[in-house]
Structure 1
Amino acid sequence: MTFIEFFKQQFIEEGNTTRKMLSRIQEHQLAYQPHPKSMDMKRLALHIADLPGWIHLIFTTDVLDFAQPYHQPEIHSTDDLMAYFEKRYEDGLSTLVPENEALLNKPWTLRNAETIYSVEPKIDVIRMSLSQQIHHRAQLGVYLRLLDTPIPGSYGPSADEAVFQKAEAAV
């Protein structure tokens, strides 16, 4: 298995889980913020929806400079959020192609103007991007749990799904 094939498999699996999690957000929850130091739900969800597109960004650029404008759409609903996720998902998936295997060892820089945060091979940045999706999705799970919103399973059934399955089995 090539690295691209491995990343594509991971990308698809994590994308399916992320899609289920994002779809649980309700419009009235977008302003929710569990702590003053936490992102509000809308900002967190938008970041999660954007992360699959970072795969495209990594393959098509050599740098992300936070000093430059980074445009994201304004979202007002779950439908807006899901549409943005699907666009960014397709962007990322479109670059997980065999010919990009040759780019994996090229350096990629994360910076803010003159301040360089990291310079790493694209393969490492792709792994980090997938990990970021998982990490922030877990944060979202905490937000949803605090709002008593049923959480879908990630790597097996969630506590909400296990209760539902037990109730079905009893019938």
Structure 2
Amino acid sequence: MRLADLFIADIEREAEATRHVIERVPLGRNDWKPHEKSMDLGRLTVLVATMVGWVEFMVNSDELDIAPVNGPAYQQPAFESREQVLQLHEDGLQKAIAALKKASDEHLEKTWKFMARGHVISELPRHINIRDMVINHLAHHRGQLTVYLRLTSASVPAIYGPSADEGKEMFA
């Protein structure tokens, strides 16, 4: 099996969990955050929604400088509506899948570089960056978002197993 096929299976499975979390984000609370140092709810939601789309530029480019010295820094889209955020997620997912379908194992073994202001943050094979910077990183921030759901009294979906709000009937 190709590396790309493994990644496609992973991101499709994770996409379902991500959609379930985004669907429960309380509306009208974009500025809410649990601590002054925390990311606000709207920004975190959009981050979680768009992370899968990073696969496309990891496959189709050799590097990314998220804040180039002589250019504009990356600007994350704003949270406008739940539907818009779900569409951002779906668009990123489809672009990631399309890019991976064209990627050979040899290509995924080539180095991809992530930078900020010209400084290298990560320079690893694409397949490692996809695993670490997208799939694992997404699970981290999606988990963070489920804590925000709990703290705003929104229901938390079952992801890898039951939550206090969903899936407990499997064990009753």
Tell whether the structures are fold-level matches, with TM greater than 0.5.
Answer: yes
Give CA deviations for 1:52-85 in whole Å, capped at 9, x if unaligned.
1011010011111022332433322111211111
1:73-152 equivalent positions in 2, closer than 5 A: 73-97=77-101, 99-128=103-132, 129-152=134-157
Instruction: Give the aligned partner of residue 47 of structure 1.
Output: 47
CA contact (8 A) 1:26 1:78 kept: no
CA contact (8 A) 1:34 1:143 kept: yes
Instruction: Give the aligned partner of residue 159 of structure 2.
Output: 154
Q: Alignment partner of 2:100: what SS?
A: coil
CA contact (8 A) 1:108 1:121 kept: yes
Distance 1:73 1:141 in 2: 21
Give CA deviations for 1:90-130 in whole Å, capped at 9, x if unaligned.
11111121543221111111112331112101010010111
| Gapped regions of structure 2 (runs ≥ 5) | none
Q: Which moved more, 1:78-87 or 1:135-144?
A: 78-87
Pairwise CA RMSD of aligned residues? Answer: 1.7
CA contact (8 A) 1:59 1:100 kept: no
Aligned-residue sequence identity (percent) comes to 32
Inter-CA distance 153–4: structure 2 relative to 1 (3 Å threshold): same
CA contact (8 A) 1:48 1:137 kept: yes
Distance 1:38 1:72 in 2: 17
Distance 1:99 1:76 in 2: 33
Give the TM-score normalised by structure 1.
0.90
Give the TM-score normalised by structure 2.
0.89
| Gapped regions of structure 1 (runs ≥ 5) | none
CA contact (8 A) 1:27 1:76 kept: no
